[in-house]
Every structure is written in C-alpha cells, then in structure tokens.
C-alpha cells in the first residue's frame, strides 16, 4: 500500500492515515441487521421510506483518537493541509469500491513555524480536532443540521471574507491563535468521514495559517505557496486532483495484478482455441477496389458482387422490356418505396403492408383486396391512387402519383403483379468487375476524404471531440506517408478515448443513476467504472465479466449495474440488458411472457436472471401477463410460466454457447454468476465477439452488419465474413478492442469520402462513408473545445452539505465532459431542487437525442432532426455563454492578441470547423472584423471596473423547503440566463461583430456533422 | 382559425375506406376479421379539443381545499380541516374559505373527491402515477397524459407544438415510449419564454439579421462544396424552420403584453400569468398545456405542507383560486371553455391529522381532482369521503378511471392500444370514464 504513495519528501510534507470501519459501538445485532440490509440492497430493492420528512437516526459515533488499535487502512501523502477528496479504493479485481465508513481521517506533519503569533483557520464538514505534539489546540463541531429539508438558509455574511475562500456547503470554521516558538512541532488534524451511511466526502477540509503581520491565509504545510482564497484553492485542488488520478490508477492496476495474470491465461487459451478454428481469409478483389487492409477486401468483394448483380439485372430488365413487361425491381418497387412504404411498410397503417406480394394481396383494414393479379380494375390500389376524392386518395399527403406511374402499376397488375426480389446470396464471383463497370453501376468506392476531414472524423470517432489547433497543425505539418496511421495510433493512446466510450455503454447498459432519491429502474453510477475500464483498456471479456460479477460498490462500481430500484425483478431487467448488449438476444418481451416474434421464452430470461441472483428465482406475479389480459388479444402472446414458479440458475442458450471454459480456467465453477460470465465471454461463444465487433462497426459507420444491433435472431447479416473475421481478430488479440478499431480506422473503407447520393444499397455496401450527425455529447464537448470554454456547472448533487445517507443521495460531481451529466428530473416541482447551471447543458443534450434517464437500454438514439436542435444552438444559454466575449472568455484574450485580421479569421475557422476558410468566407469574415480592428482593444486606463458576480448562500436538500431557498435558485437561474457581462477589454461594436461571426460558425450545419 | 382539419379528415378517410372495402369486395379473410375487428368503444365521447392541467406539485391537501370537513386544530393536533368552509354556487357543495372565486363558478366545475391510489411514500412515483395514469412497470416507460394527447390529437394548428409545459422538465411529463415527437416544449418562466427559442436580449433585430446573413453564407457554401446528402439537407431544413419559428406568430403568443392590463391583473401573479399564457396557447392550437403551480417561495414547501409549510398554505390556495377562476371565465369569454378541459391535478392529498409541527403528511386513499369546462356536465361533486376525508364512502374513482374520463372528454378512446415496439399498451390502464359527466 505504501508503494502507492506518489511522491514523498519535502514537497509532500503531510502524511495521511485513513482508518476505515471505525464505528464505536459494535452491537452484534446491529451488524446482522446491516448484513440483511445489504442483501436486499443488492437486489435493488428500495424499500426504505422515501418520505422527505424522514427524521435522522442517532448519529453514528466514531472511535476516538488515541485508542486506535489497528493499523491504518490507507496511508498516503499530501502536499499540504488541504484535502478535497479521499483517494479511491479498489478491490483485488481493480474494481472501485467505497471506503467503509465511519472513518477516522488523520493528517500529520512536522513543521516549523516562524516565531510569533499566528492565526490558524480550520475548515471542516464533520467534527474535527487540531493538535500540536498531541496537545489539543482546537476542536471544530459539525453544523447541527436536521435531515428533513426544513433547515434555514445560512446567511451569506457568515460565509464571506474577501481574503479567504468561500465556505463550502455544510462546512464549519474555527480560527485560533497560536504563538510559535520557531522550533519544529508535529501538527495533527483529525476528523470523521462517512458517518451514518453518508458519502465518504470531505467537503473542503483544510488548515490554513496566517503568520505574524500577514493578511492572507495559506495552507498549512505548503510553505506559504498555496493561498487559501477561492482561486488559490481551485489551483491547489487542480494540481492535487491530477496527482490523485495518477495515484488511483497505480493502486487500481497494482491491486489487480493477480487478476490481470488470470486474464493473460484466459487470452492464451483464447489464442489456442482460435488456432483450432478455420481461419477466415480475406477474399481477393480486383484492381478497381482500393485496399489498405483486410477490411477493404471483405467490403470490396461484396461491392463487386453487387455490381455484377446489377449488371446481370440490367440485362434481364432490358430483355423484359423488350417483351413489353413491366420490371418490378426497376419500375414498381421505386414507386412503392417512395409513395407507399413509409406508412404501409413496418408501420402497417390500416393493417396494410405493401412490402411483400403476399401481404399486399392479403389487404388491410379496408377489407378489400388491394391487389388482384391480372385485374387492375378489381385492385383497390389502383382505385385509391387514381381517385380524385380527397377523402380517400392515396398517398394522402404530398405529390399525387403521375399518370405514367399509375399506368405502370395497372400494367404491372395486369401482367400478373410479379414481385421479383433479388437473390440475397453472394454470387460465386467468376470475375472482378472493372472500374468502368463499377462506375456504370454506381458502386465504385469513393476516394479517401481529404486530410482535414479525415482528422476531424477520426478524432470525433475516437476521443469524442473535434481536433484542436495544435492537433490540426501537427497533422498538417507531418509529411510522412503514414501520417494517418500515426494519428490513429496517437488517438488510440489518448485518455479521452475513455470519455468517448462511456456514453455508448451508458446507453447500452442502461446506466441510470438519479441524484434525487432512487426511482424506477435507477442504477448505481457505474459510469466511473466504465471510464476506468477504458482508461486501462480493459479487455472486453474482462470488462463484461466484471460487469456480470457486479463487484465493487453499488454506488461507484459495477455492482451499481445490479441495482434496479422499484423493479419487481431487478435481475430479470439486467438479464434483458446483458442479452441485448452482448448476445444480440432481445428479451424485452420475455420479461412478462414468451416472446411472440422471437424464440426466447420467459423462462430463458429468468434462467439468466437466476444465474445473476446466484439462486433460483420465483417469478413475481407482477412479471406475468395475467390471463384475462391475454383474452381477446391477438393470440400471439403465450405465457408458459405461472407466478411463483421457481426458475433455475442455468444457462439457457446452448445454440450460442455449448460449453463454457475448460475447468482449469474456472475459478469457482459453482458460482452461477461466474458460469454466466464464462458462457458469455468464452471464445467458443459464437456470438459475443461478433456482437462487440458489430457495435464498434456501427459506431464508426452509423450502421452495423446486423441491425438492430441488439437483436440478431431474425437478422440479415450484411457482411458475415468480415464480421467473423473481425471477431476472430478480437479473440486472437486478447479481446483488445483497440486492435479491432485500429484495423477499421486504417481501412480505406473508413476513410472514404461521404456518399452524397441516396442509394440505400450503396450505403449498405459502404461504397462511401455515411455522414453522421455528432452525438449530443460530441456537440457539447466539441463546442466547448472550439471556444476554449470549460463546462461551467454546479455539482450534480442535491445534498451539497453531505447530510443524507448515500442510499438516498449520490453525488455525481462537477461535470467536465458531457457524459457526466444526468437527468435533473425534478418530479417534486420545487424551484429549490433545480440545478440551473446543469439545466443549460441538459437542454442541449436532450435536444440532440441524449437521454439523461435510461430506464431501459438504448441501442439506437433518436436521430431525427427537429427544430429545437438548431434553435437551441442558436438561442440557448449554452451558446450565449460560448459566444459572448466576457472578461473570462478565453477567446476575448485571443481576440486581443496582436495579429493580422486574416490570421484571426483563419484561427476561428480552424477552431470551429477544423479547416481554413475558403476565399469567399475569408472575405466575408475579414469584412466583418476589419472595421475597428486596429483599435478594438480598450486601453487599460479607459476600462470600467469589473463587476463582481453575485454570490448566494448555498441551497441543499437540508434547507430546500425554506422560502428563501426557492428564491435563491430562481435568482441564480436569472443570473445564468443573463450571462456574464460583455468584456471591458474590447470595444462594443467590434466585439459584437466578432461574437456574431463566432455564432454563425458554431451554428453552421458543418459544425455538427462528422465529416 | 382552422382546427381539427387533419384529424377529422383522417377519421373520415378511415371510415370511408372501411365502407368501400365492405361494399365492393366483401372478401375479408375469415382469420383476419377475428383480429382486425375491434369492438367500437362503449364509452361516451366528449367535445374537448384542448386540455389545460394545473399541477399542484407536492400533494394538495383535499380537506383544506375542495373537500372541506369539520375544522381541526393544528396546535392541539385535533384532526380536521385547517380552514372554514364556505357555500358555493351549487347547493350542497362547500369548499374552503380561500376558494371564494371558484365557489362562485361551481356550476362550471366538478370536484372528483374520490380519486385514490396506493403510492404515498415517494413524490416521484406518485407524480408519475398521476401523469401516466398507472403504476410503473420495469420494462415500459409510459408516456404522460400530455404526450398521449399530443400523439393522438397532434397540434391543433400548423406551426404550434401539440404539448407545452410551463414548469420544470421531468421524466413523468415526458413522452416515454412514444418518442421525442410526443414530447413537450417547456418554459419555466413566462417572462423568459420557451427555452431556446428566444434570442438573448442583447441580440437585437439588426444583430440577428447580421448573424443570419453570416450563417446563410456558411450554409450556402457548405452545400455548394458538395455536402448535400440527406442528413445535411434535413438539418439545414431544421435551421430554416428554427429561424422561421423565432420570428413567427407562435412566438408572439408568449407576449402577454398583448393582453389588456385589467385582464392580466385579474389573473394575478406568476401562476396567473402562466394560466393566461395557457389560454393563449390553447387559442393558437396547442392541445395540452400543463401549468405548474410551484411557487414554493410563498411558504417554502409548496403544496407539500409538512411542518411550517402549513402556516402559509392559504397563500397558495388564494393564488390558485384567483388564477383558476380567471382562467375559466376568460376561456368562457373566448368561447373556448366548452372545447377546453381544465384539470387541477396533484400527486396525492393530505391527511386530516397534523404532524408535531402543525403540518401534514401524505394521503393517497382519497383526494380531490377538479375538472372544468370541456363540455362536460358540471356543478357536481363526484364521490364522497368520510367525515374526515380519509376514506371513500361511495363512488371511488381510480386513477385509470380519472384518466379515461379525461381521454373521453378529449375524444380519445381510452381502450385504444398504443405500441411500444411490438407491445400493445392501452391509452388508459383499463379505466372507465365517469359517465354521469357525459350524460345528456
């Protein structure tokens, strides 16, 4: 443990000891009760009273200092007596868990103070003692705050002293005077943390000192280097946080060495297993197909097939036409597709489907044959498309069919309504089409996109944001022929890689934490574990095994995945999620009955649920569709289980995985969870690796080989060979997802220019790249990067002063990246419970399809464009903050720097759109900015004095039921809406021009698309 | 203003097609008719095209508002109402003394006094219950009543959204499985207007024009450089539409200064202004408006009157009374009342007992919801509670029944099935409307 100490010696004079589980009274009965609670918690039950008025239980007491009989659970060093959080704790698999409260926190340092009178200031959230050489100098007592929300708002005057950092919510302060003798003494700070089930948070824990004649306080032990002011503390915390992150990562990796060795064995086995399988060799392709790696061969072979087929078909069509026959594929299908299928396809308006001959002949609600082969006059289709009656004609909206089209339909029906569908199997290619043939059939793969578009695409796809100026410059300056591969390698090493994977898994795994008391299907915040897993590039089989094992703590680790509050069968909900995410088995229906359109039985789902539960599950009555609800319903749904039936923890999907792992690789074969994880992730599982690879492909191309990606049962796989090949690559390379990504990103296929035409087949063949709109997170993060702004948000927490147990209030911290946000759903409708800063971002995220609440897994976000999206970017508060040049806006500083106006224009375009302006744009923008450019900066002597932002007392759950708390939040919301005042440094007219130019850039459609 | 054009036409089309089918070709396949035929709804249908739901977040105390009982004493903790009762325009119906204006128009109202459900502990779950009309389930995210109305009726006019929320965005007010199209447009403050649609105040018309000129240049250039795939085109259309919306007649709805000062004053404070805005929204074709009465700065707790929250509860009641009565009369003046159902909803009631600081806990076994307008037969109280308002004496109205009543009033068949993917979900959870409101 000591090995984890990052740094020691003079720079880190403070030694911290952490003693966990220090409850003073240890009643065996209590302990037992604790166990029980834990068991039911683990099942996700949330039976505790959620009454907002709950009265706090008696405060848990902590063993007093001096009488500690055990060694500290953790020892580390700090730079000074300033502590913003505890270091994280990890179990032996490297999974995060919470420190076991209540804890005693003790910080000690031997220091020499200058001779004379010093003032010493102690800030703490919980009871604390400060000692010198073991003698008590001061005690600080935690605020007396009841837990019920009816506490008064604290007066701001109590909190503010201009020289000293503002109070953190719930903190108390003690100032004492100390006359130092100029000799070394040992100073000790002790406090309790995480009492009574509270989050193990420190608030702001600090001891600061002001020496003789000094006004400012500095952190004790910092050699007067860390000023205890708002800014000084922020700087100190930033530096400490960076150090803690390194320390945490070291501990995480160090603790799990044993586990890592196990996975090395697993991967050796996977390689051995793979060696026994038939290797999939990439097919040969003709010269017309550009090839950078194996991916392009598989893709190219399919394109060649399709091209040859198009050539054949066109010949057949010509023949048919020469006989006067209507050709379904070429002449009828397009009419149906563009006029009918939008409603009479999947949607079955009026129960009618026109996507197969059988269904069309069957007709719909209108109870007539839509299609009577050979008899257009009896076919309702013809009647409706030719009618003039606005009450019946089809299509009901938009363009009427032309005479030519209706005539074609009539002739086609007359000729027997033949419905030829192309053969989906690949033809045995006897030859490779030439480039000319590919061109004629419009299937010639597009060339690679230009360098800057590629850089923007690959940066967004890997690290989730647009490239910055330095990244663009470095890429442009690189003359190497493999510069794209180099960029890909750099991006795969970038820690932001993890930031971009978190939102994906949040959706697919239905991560759904709630900062206001758990509600329906809330989970723990296992986002942090996802993030760390991808920071560490955890192999995918290990990632999924961790998830299934639900280890660590439910509030921070994958155990949080195991939670589903207010759900009658949490593990069934989890089985449904795992099935879709990793097996491509859609079990949504099976939650309450046997699936009507799938082979999955309800029992299968509950088998998995029981494996997760590690014991048989009795089917809750509420998880069975009652028989009377089935009566009269289309007899599609069957129920083969009864309430109370006991379902065994056995693996149900033998067609997917026959036998799990060799005995030697099972650590505890009796554990149903391990058995489940083994079945899910073993190399012999025919699905797992393919499903993972399919998700990756879908992320990079906007569509998977299998769609929907979470439901493979009836799927047409567009590229089965490539899918199998990439799956083998994953299995054969230690389940390292980066290996597969590297292959894909280096392919010509990935790097192609965007396909402009609407040609569904060409798109499905990946002839060109399909343009994707950025995800909500990419938009928010990229816009901040483009404008050098940080997300400005309050802590995502309702219990800022840390008074309530963690099982009621979690703390999601202060977001730096968009994935860190969560639903702010304020079901209580109280102004005092709003988070007005966060709401600004959540509005934008939600407009672009992000879901703050994920009660069910999301395999595909809503991609539809709606008017609120551009409107929010145009007028919303986030955009106002990004485009208004205030004193603190980094672009104000940029605008003030000396440079040619043309250079500024160039920088603005590169920062936002990732490319230099073209001639016309350059002219427009220079015209916009050149007027008044030379004297845009207001001389220092003429600047007005800065306005101090208004400050408010804190509002937390503990005081939110006071009138004032509601008024404060309303006032904050109004301040945010007004935004920071425009800068005093730039002349108004020029500033407005610059702001407007910036506004137009970030509102350009180009901004929000992955090029 | 043209209303219902689309929906009636769509309905006509469907009926007509059914007739054509039967007439020309009576060749329905036997097996199909069994599952295609749906029994006609047995429920009475109302006349309303719009609905305004005033939401009293926190759980409004029914015995202190619409279902007064003998007076209790908070100090001695003797159970009962906190206020005196007063007579109303309808003989035999009394309400709390702080509802005088509503009392005067009792003939236009119905108090449903026996709404009940079993969710009391948790506000979130109860709010969900009273917005979705059913208990939660682990697998389906149910749509709110506003979203169902939006989905079933669509906007009443072009260029307006079907569903507007004046209050905080939350999950239970959302569209659930119906998807974003059935979602709400929200605003939290009548002064500021809907979030994201109003340019910031420092962007005046001339700046806006300059911004648009610059943006239009960038757009044109982008498309001219060969970026004309479907995704870009759609987004570009979205930009165009958002620009139109920003300067459109829809946005002028939010300009309450267009109303006469006397009328604005009659509505009262911020909640009243929200109600006035609701009328304007309805008038312009919005189908469903939820107006949150969350002015917690009056008493701290809002309607969740634990402890000292009880002391100034009358401030909330008076504010509600004022705005509600003004809304009803204003709708009437605009000939909108018969076509607009106004609902006063809340997540649960409160017990007649007092807690140790004179406030009240939660009570869901019986509480009141008020209906007004919408062409229903009003001037009555539906159901009766016992002498302290704790239990139902007769005519219980379950949450699904209440919702079925609202849906029927809004010409939506409560038995109709919506689809969450393949799964059929009825509009109301087996509810039966309160038929006496429709009779005659």
- For the cut 50, the answer to whether the pLDDT of residue B249 exceeds it is yes
Q: Residue B366: what are its φ and ψ, rounded to 5°?
A: -165, 130
Structure tokens that stand for A25 in this block: 């009274």
Give a three-class secondary structure readout of A274-304: HHCCCCCCCCCCCCCCCCCCHHHHHHHHHHH
Contact B17 A928 (CB under 8 A): no
Which residue of B lies nearest to A372 if distances are taken between CA atoms? B25
Q: Where are the domains of chain B?
A: 44-196+254-437, 199-251
Contact A920 B36 (CB under 8 A): no
**pTM of the model as a whole:** 0.89
Crossing angle of helices A230-255/A527-535, nearest 10°?
A: 70
Q: Look up residue A506 and give its two tokens.
A: 């949040």
**By CA distance, what is B230's nearest residue in A?**
A758
- Chain B nearest CA to A823, separation (Å): 8
Residues of A in contact with B296 (CB under 8 A): 830-832, 961, 963, 966
Cβ of A771 within 8 Å of Cβ of B232? The answer is yes
The nearest CA of chain A is from the CA of B333 a distance in Å of 31
Long-range interactions of B9-15: CB distance < 8 A, separation 24+ = B9/A390, B9/A391, B10/A396, B12/A391, B13/A391, B13/A392, B13/A396, B14/A350, B14/A365
pLDDT of the residue at A397: 65
Question: Using CB atoms and an 8 Å cut-off, which of residues 353-372 of chain B contact chain A?
Answer: 355, 361-362
Q: Which of A649-677 are b and which e, b meaning 16 or more Cβ less than 10 Å from the residue's Cβ?
A: bebbbeebbeebbeeebeeeeebbbbbbb
The position carrying tokens 């300056």 is A477
Q: Taking CB atoms and an 8 Å cutoff, what residues of chain A touch B29?
A: 362
**Which one-letter DSSP state was computed for residue A583?**
I
Give the gap in angstroms from C-alpha A599 to the nearest C-alpha of chain B: 15
Q: How far is the C-alpha of A59 from the C-alpha of B402, rounded, in Å?
A: 45
Q: What per-residue confidence (pLDDT) applies to A153?
A: 93
Whether residue A516 contacts residue A503, with contact meaning beta carbons closer than 8 Å, is answered with no
> Residues A583, A691: contact at Cβ < 8 Å?
yes
**Contact yes or no for A367 and B25 at CB 8 A:** yes
Would you give the DSSP letter of residue A703?
S
Mutate to test the interface with B, among A52, A456, A827, A914 (most CBs of B within 10 A): A827
| Composition of chain A by helix, strand, coil, percent to 5 | 45, 10, 45
Sorted by sequence, the CB contacts under 8 Å of residue A348 that are 6+ apart come out as: A364
Interface test with B, best of A522, A569, A868 (most B CBs within 10 A): A868
* Dihedral class, residue A679 (left if φ above 0, else alpha if ψ from -120 to 50, else beta): alpha
- Polymer length in residues for chain A: 1011
Q: What is the ipTM of this complex?
A: 0.87
Please state the separation of Cα A485 from the chain's center in Å: 26
Classify the C-alpha dihedral A590-A596-A598-A601 as positive or negative.
positive
B229 against A5, higher pLDDT: B229
User: B44-196+254-437 adopts what CATH topology?
Assistant: Alkaline Phosphatase, subunit A (3.40.720)
Interface of B with A in 159-198 (CB under 8 A): 167-172, 179-181, 185, 188-189, 192, 195-198
Closest CA to A999 of A883, A911, A841, A871: A883
Q: Which tokens sit at A787? A: 């404008």
Beta strands (DSSP E) in B40-120 are: 50-56, 85-87, 94-96, 109-116
Residues B209, B200: contact at Cβ < 8 Å? Answer: no
pLDDT of res. B20: 28
What band does B245 get if pLDDT is binned at 50, 70 and 90?
confident
Tell which of B139, B216, B298, B351 to mutate to test the A interface (max A CBs under 10 Å). Answer: B139
CA gap A585, A679 in Å, rounded: 14
The first and second tokens of residue A874, run together, are 């145009």
Q: What is the distance in angstroms between the Cα of A588 and the nearest Cα belonging to chain B?
A: 7
Are B375 and B338 in contact by the 8 Å Cβ rule? The answer is yes
Out of B17, B179, B300, name the one closest to residue A961 (CB).
B300
Count other C-beta atoms under 10 Å from residue A905's C-beta: 23
Q: Pick from A380, A826, A871: which is nearest to B242 by CB?
A: A871
Ramachandran assignment for A470, one of left (phi > 0), alpha (psi -120 to 50 degrees), beta (any other): alpha
Q: Do the chains contact at B298 and A963, CB–CB below 8 Å?
A: yes
> Is B200–A53 a contact, with Cβ atoms under 8 angstroms apart?
no
| Cross-chain residue pair A367–B297, CB shorter than 8 Å | no
CB atoms closer than 10 angstroms to residue A343: 18
Contacts of A118 (CB under 8 A, 6+ apart): A177, A178, A179, A180, A209, A210, A211, A212
Show the low-confidence residues of chain A (pLDDT under 50): 1-9, 28-57, 633-634
Backbone angles phi, psi at A139, to 5 degrees: -120, 145
- Residue B236: pLDDT band (50, 70, 90) is very high
Q: Using CB atoms, which residue from B55, B202, B222 is nearest to A1006?
A: B222
Peptide bond into A767 cis (omega under 30): no
Distance CA A560, CA A41 (A): 10
- Cα separations in angstroms, B49 against B147, B337, B375: 14, 10, 10
Q: In DSSP terms, which residues pair with B261 in a beta bridge?
A: none
The C-alpha of A633 sits at a distance from chain B's nearest C-alpha, in angstroms, of 8
pLDDT at position B250: 84
* CA dihedral (A164, A170, A171, A174) positive or negative: positive
Asked if B245 reaches chain A (Cβ–Cβ under 8 Å), the answer is yes
Output the six-digit token pair for A588. 């949504």
Q: Do B221 and A920 touch (CB under 8 A)?
A: yes
pLDDT of residue A33: 45
Q: Supply the DSSP symbol for A10.
A: T
Q: How far apart are CA B434 and CA B44, in angstroms?
A: 10
**What pLDDT, on a 0 to 100 scale, did the predictor assign at position B297?**
87
Q: How far apart are CA A672 and CA A610, in angstroms?
A: 8
Chain B contacts of A1009, Cβ < 8 Å?
A: 227, 231-232, 235
Out of A823, A839, A921, whose CB is closest to B221? A921
Q: Rounded distance, CA B361 to CA B121, Å?
A: 10
> Are A174 and A138 contacting, i.e. CB atoms less than 8 angstroms apart?
yes
CA distances from A435 to A285, A308, A811 (A): 12, 12, 59
CB A515 within 8 Å of CB A822: yes
DSSP tag of A325 = -
Cα distances from A317 to residues A320, A437, B113, in angstroms, run: 5, 17, 72
Q: Which of B168, B196, B226 sits opposite A868 (nearest CB)?
A: B196
Domain layout of chain A by residue ranges: 18-40+81-144+160-255, 310-440, 451-493, 502-722, 776-1010
Please tell me the distance from the alpha carbon of residue A225 to that of residue A239, in angstroms, as a whole number. 13
Chain B from 61 to 120: CB within 8 A of any A CB: none
| Chain segment A499-520, per-residue pLDDT in tens | 999 999 999 999 999 998 887 7
* Topology (CATH level 3) of domain A18-40+81-144+160-255: Jelly Rolls (2.60.120)
């Amino acid at each position: 443990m000591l090995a984890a100490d990052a740094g020691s010696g003079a720079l880190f004079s403070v030694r911290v000891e952490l003693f966990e589980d220090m409850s003073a009274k240890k009643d065996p009965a209590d302990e037992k009760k604790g166990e029980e609670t834990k068991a039911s918690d683990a099942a996700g039950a949330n039976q505790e009273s959620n009454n907002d008025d709950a009265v706090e239980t008696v405060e848990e007491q902590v063993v007093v200092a001096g009488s500690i009989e055990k060694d500290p659970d953790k020892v580390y060093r700090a730079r000074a007596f300033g502590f913003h959080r505890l270091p994280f704790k990890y179990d032996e698999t490297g999974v995060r868990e919470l420190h076991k409260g209540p804890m005693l926190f003790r910080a000690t340092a031997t220091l020499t103070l200058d001779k004379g009178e010093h003032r010493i200031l102690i800030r703490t959230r919980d009871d604390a003692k400060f000692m010198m050489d073991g003698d008590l100098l001061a005690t600080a007592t935690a605020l007396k705050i009841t837990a019920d929300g009816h506490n008064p708002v604290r007066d701001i005057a109590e909190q503010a002293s201009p020289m000293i950092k503002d109070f953190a919510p719930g903190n108390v302060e003690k100032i004492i005077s100390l006359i130092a003798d100029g000799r070394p003494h040992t100073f000790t700070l002790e406090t309790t943390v995480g009492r009574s089930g509270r989050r193990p948070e420190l608030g702001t824990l600090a001891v600061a000192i002001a020496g003789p004649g000094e006004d400012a306080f500095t952190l004790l032990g910092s050699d007067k280097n860390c000023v205890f002011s708002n800014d000084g503390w922020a700087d100190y915390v930033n530096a400490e946080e960076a150090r803690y992150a390194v320390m945490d990562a070291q501990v995480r990796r160090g603790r799990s060495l044993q586990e890592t060795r196990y996975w090395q064995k697993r991967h050796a086995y996977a390689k051995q297993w793979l060696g026994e399988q038939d290797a999939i060799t990439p097919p040969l392709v003709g010269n017309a197909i550009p090839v950078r790696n194996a991916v392009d061969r598989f893709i190219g072979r399919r394109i060649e097939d399709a091209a040859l087929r198009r050539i054949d078909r066109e010949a057949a069509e010509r023949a048919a036409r020469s006989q006067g026959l209507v050709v379904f594929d070429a002449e009828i299908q397009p009419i149906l597709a563009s006029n009918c299928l939008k409603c009479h396809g999947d949607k079955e308006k009026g129960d009618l489907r026109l996507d197969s001959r059988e269904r069309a002949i069957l007709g719909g609600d209108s109870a007539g044959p839509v299609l009577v082969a050979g008899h257009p006059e009896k076919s309702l289709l013809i009647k409706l498309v030719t009618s003039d009656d606005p009450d019946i004609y089809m299509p009901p909206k938009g363009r009427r069919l032309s005479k030519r089209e209706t005539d074609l339909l009539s002739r086609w029906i007359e000729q027997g309504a033949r419905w030829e569908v192309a053969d989906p199997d690949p033809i045995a290619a006897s030859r490779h089409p030439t480039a000319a043939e590919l061109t004629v059939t419009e299937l010639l793969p597009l060339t690679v996109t230009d360098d800057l578009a590629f850089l923007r695409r690959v940066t967004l796809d890997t690290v989730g944001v647009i490239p910055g100026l330095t990244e663009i410059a470095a890429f442009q300056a690189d003359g190497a022929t493999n510069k794209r591969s180099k960029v890909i390698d750099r991006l795969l090493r970038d820690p932001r890689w993890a930031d971009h994977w978190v939102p994906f898994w949040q959706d697919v795994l239905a991560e759904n934490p709630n900062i206001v008391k758990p509600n329906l299907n809330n989970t723990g915040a296992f986002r942090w574990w996802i993030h760390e897993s991808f920071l560490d590039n955890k192999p995918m089989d290990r990632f999924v095994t961790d998830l299934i094992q639900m280890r660590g703590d439910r509030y921070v680790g994958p155990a949080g995945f195991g939670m589903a509050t207010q759900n009658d069968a949490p593990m069934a909900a989890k089985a449904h999620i795992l099935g879709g995410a990793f097996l491509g088995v859609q079990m949504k229906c099976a939650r309450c009955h046997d699936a009507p359109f799938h082979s999955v039985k309800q029992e299968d789902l509950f088998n998995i649920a029981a494996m997760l539960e590690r014991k048989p599950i009795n089917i809750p009555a509420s998880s069975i569709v009652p028989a009377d609800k089935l009566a009269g319903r289309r007899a599609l749904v069957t129920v083969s289980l009864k309430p109370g039936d006991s379902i065994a923890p056995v693996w149900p999907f033998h067609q997917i995985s026959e036998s799990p792992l060799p005995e030697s690789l099972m650590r505890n074969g009796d554990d149903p969870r391990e058995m489940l994880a083994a079945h899910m992730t073993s190399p012999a599982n025919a699905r797992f690796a393919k499903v993972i690879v399919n998700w990756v492909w879908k992320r990079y191309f906007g569509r998977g080989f299998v769609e929907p990606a979470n439901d493979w049962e009836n799927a047409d796989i567009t590229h089965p060979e490539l899918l199998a090949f990439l799956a083998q690559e994953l299995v054969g390379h230690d389940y390292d997802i980066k290996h597969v990504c590297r292959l894909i990103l280096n392919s010509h296929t990935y790097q192609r220019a965007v396909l402009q035409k609407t040609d569904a087949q060409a798109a499905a063949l990946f002839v060109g790249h399909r343009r994707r709109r950025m995800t909500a997170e990419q938009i928010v993060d990229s816009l901040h990067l483009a404008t050098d702004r940080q997300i400005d948000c309050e802590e995502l927490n309702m219990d800022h002063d840390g008074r309530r147990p963690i099982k009621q209030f979690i703390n999601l911290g202060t977001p730096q990246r968009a994935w860190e946000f969560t639903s702010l759903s304020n079901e209580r409708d109280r102004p005092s419970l709003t988070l007005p800063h966060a709401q600004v971002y959540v509005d934008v995220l939600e407009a672009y399809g992000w879901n703050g609440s994920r009660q069910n897994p999301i395999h595909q976000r809503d991609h539809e464009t709606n008017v609120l999206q551009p409107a929010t970017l145009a007028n919303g508060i986030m955009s106002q903050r990004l485009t208004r040049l205030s004193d603190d806006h980094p672009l104000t500083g940029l605008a003030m720097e000396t440079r040619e106006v043309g250079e500024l224009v160039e920088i603005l375009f590169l920062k936002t759109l990732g490319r230099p302006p073209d001639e016309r744009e350059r002219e427009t923008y220079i015209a916009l900015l050149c007027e008044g450019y030379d004297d845009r900066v207001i001389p220092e002597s003429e600047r007005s004095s800065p306005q101090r932002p208004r400050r408010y007392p804190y509002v937390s759950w503990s005081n939110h039921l006071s009138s004032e708390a509601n008024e404060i939040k309303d006032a904050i919301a109004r301040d945010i809406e007004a935004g920071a005042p425009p800068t005093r440094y730039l002349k108004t007219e020029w500033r407005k021009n610059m702001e407007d130019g910036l506004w137009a850039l970030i509102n350009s459609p180009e901004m929000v698309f992955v090029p | 203003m043209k209303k219902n054009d689309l929906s009636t036409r769509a309905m006509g089309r469907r009926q007509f097609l059914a007739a054509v089918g039967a007439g020309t070709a009576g060749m329905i396949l036997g097996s199909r008719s069994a599952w295609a035929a749906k029994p006609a709804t047995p429920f009475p249908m109302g006349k309303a095209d719009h609905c305004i739901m005033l939401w009293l977040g926190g759980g409004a105390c029914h015995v202190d508002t619409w279902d007064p009982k003998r007076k209790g004493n908070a100090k001695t903790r003797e159970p009962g109402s906190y206020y005196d009762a007063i007579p109303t325009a309808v003989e035999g119906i009394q309400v709390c003394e702080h509802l005088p204006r509503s009392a005067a128009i009792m003939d236009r109202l119905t108090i449903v006094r026996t709404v009940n459900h079993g969710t009391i502990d948790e506000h979130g779950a109860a709010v969900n219950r009273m917005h979705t009309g059913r208990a939660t389930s682990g697998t389906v995210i149910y749509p709110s009543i506003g979203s169902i109305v939006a989905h079933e009726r669509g906007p009443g006019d072009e260029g307006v959204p079907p569903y507007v929320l004046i209050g905080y965005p939350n999950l239970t007010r959302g569209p659930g499985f119906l998807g974003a199209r059935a979602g709400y447009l929200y605003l939290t403050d009548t002064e500021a207007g809907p979030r994201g649609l109003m340019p910031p105040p420092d962007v005046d018309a001339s700046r806006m024009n300059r911004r648009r000129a610059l943006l239009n240049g960038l757009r044109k250039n982008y498309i001219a450089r060969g970026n004309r795939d479907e995704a870009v085109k759609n987004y570009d259309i979205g930009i165009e539409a958002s620009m139109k919306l920003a300067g459109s007649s829809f946005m002028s709805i939010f300009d309450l200064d267009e109303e006469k000062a006397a009328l604005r004053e009659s509505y009262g404070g911020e909640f009243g202004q929200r109600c006035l805005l609701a009328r304007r929204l309805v008038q312009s074709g919005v189908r469903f408006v939820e107006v949150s009465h969350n002015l917690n700065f009056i008493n701290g707790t809002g309607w969740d009157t634990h402890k000292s929250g009880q002391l100034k509860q009358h401030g909330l009641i008076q504010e509600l009374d004022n705005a509600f009565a003004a809304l009803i009369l204003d709708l009437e003046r605009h000939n909108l009342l018969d076509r607009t159902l106004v609902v006063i909803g809340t997540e649960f009631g409160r017990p007649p007992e007092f807690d140790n600081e004179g406030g009240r806990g939660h009570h869901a076994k019986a509480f009141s919801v008020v209906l007004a307008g919408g062409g229903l037969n009003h001037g009555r109280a539906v159901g009766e509670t016992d002498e302290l308002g704790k239990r139902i004496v007769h005519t219980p109205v379950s949450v699904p029944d209440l919702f079925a009543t609202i849906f029927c009033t809004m010409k939506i068949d409560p038995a109709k099935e919506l689809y969450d993917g393949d799964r059929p979900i009825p509009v109301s959870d087996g509810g039966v409307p309160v038929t006496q409101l429709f009779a005659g």
